[in-house]
Amino acid sequence: VSTHHTAKSAFDAFEKNNYDIIISDLGLPDMNGTDHFKLMTSRRNQLNLPTRIVATSAHFSQKSTNELTKLGVDNIIEKYCL
């Protein structure tokens, strides 16, 4: 288990480690969420890894959900704000 606060840090860790699952928020401070997930799914597919990639956010739109699905994100979890 590892935690990262930026997309760059998360991607660097992904390149150095084999993870069973990656759960990442759509809103990271240093990169657009769609670009972040594009990098992650692309790398996973290049290396033919079994890593499951899950997106989470409190601000999904139908457009972002469709984009993430097309990129190959395995699951989308919406966080609810009370």
- Report residue 14's pLDDT band, with 50, 70 and 90 as the boundaries: very high
pLDDT for residue 80: 84
pTM score: 0.89
The string of DSSP codes covering 2-19 is ---SSHHHHHHHHHHS--
Containing 46, the helix (H) or strand (E) segment is: helix 33-46
pLDDT for residue 46: 95
- Distance, CA of 78 to CA of 17 (rounded, Å): 26
Give pLDDT tens digits for 19-71.
Answer: 999 999 988 999 988 899 999 999 999 999 999 999 999 888 899 899 999 99
